[in-house]
Amino acid sequence: MPEYTDLNTVLQKIPAPDEKARAAAQKQWASCAKPLGSLGLLEDALTEMAALTGRAKIELTPRTVLVLCADNGVVAQGVSQSGSEVTGIVAHALAAGQSNVCRMAALASCRVLPVDMGILDFTPEPGVFESRIGNGTADMTRGPAMTRAQAEQAILAGIELVRMQKEAGIHLLATGEMGIGNTTTATAVACTFLGRAPQELTGRGAGLSDAGLMRKRRAIETALAVNKPDAKDPVDVLSKVGGFDIAGLCGVFLGGALYRVPVLVDGAISAVAALCAVRLCPRASAAVFATHQSAESAGELLLQALGKKPLITAGMRLGEGTGAVAAMPMLDMALAIYQGSTFADYGMQPYTPQEAQG
């Protein structure tokens, strides 16, 4: 049985970061035999992980990338190059260990867990965790993508995924997604939260033509006009113009904050979900760790809204959690130094901060 069935209860229970653990991690970094702050954002990331978990002893393994899969009714508006059937095909490949993220995750010693949040007409199969909210969402250009109750159910399902991973001994999570049409829903959510027009944020997704891009923009404009999502109410936004995958990922970030498990953001879609989580509970920001800056139009703006800086700027937009997994070896290397030689081991005096000479 899920531990929580009420979203408000979860939001109230999310703790603040542990400042003692943060200070201990900073002290550990200061003792490492290297110039102060010389690993930059990698040092910051591990320090924030210590504050989140409440332990200066940082562990990054074992780890899992959660790939939430769902279909979107807005595909009927011609917003994607592929049909909805592709979501199920890729979910099958994820379960078989054959998808793009699976190949990258194998090199990063990371488990891949595909989750069916609402794949259209999907038959359950081994290797795909079932957490279905519905058989795909409705077409958001004609009304809400889902009910408010379904949005809350999807968020709670994401929180429950984190609980199960925590109980299985997982120390680090990455967020991935698969769902034809989900750059359209993610853009609609981003436009609402960022106060930007679809013309500014809508990208080509998996490679739309000019005509396809125009259809996508019109679909987002229509969905926003028809549904009038309330930017002050993230659940309202998710229910009206989101997707089961985005709502579930929102729950994963909330669950990371609740259960003190670091969660790596992938690209624009998971960044939108992270922003939903932080708008629901600002303390959830402690569990949100940026990995790369998506090449999608909203990628940079979403990270700015989250107050996060990417470790990687490589123009990636593959999805499935690939960008988040790509950052894992960098974090491993930083941890090796964090746990490595100290100035005392070298018989040296540690570096101390120096005042700039004017």
Query: Max alpha carbon distance in the chain (Å)?
Result: 70
Q: Cβ(68)–Cβ(115) under 8 Å?
A: yes
Whether residue 160 lies in the annotated active site: no
Q: How far is Cα 210 from Cα 81, in angstroms, rounded to an integer?
A: 12
| Bond into 62 cis (ω within 30) | yes
Burial class for 79, CB neighbours closer than 10 Å (0-12, 13-18, 19+)? buried
Which of the residues 43, 85, 320, 355 is marked catalytic? 320
Tell me the DSSP string of 188-256: HHHHHHHT--HHHH---TTT--HHHHHHHHHHHHHHHHHH---TT-HHHHHHHH--HHHHHHHHHHHHH
Q: Cβ(338)–Cβ(28) under 8 Å?
A: yes
- Residues with active-site annotation: 320
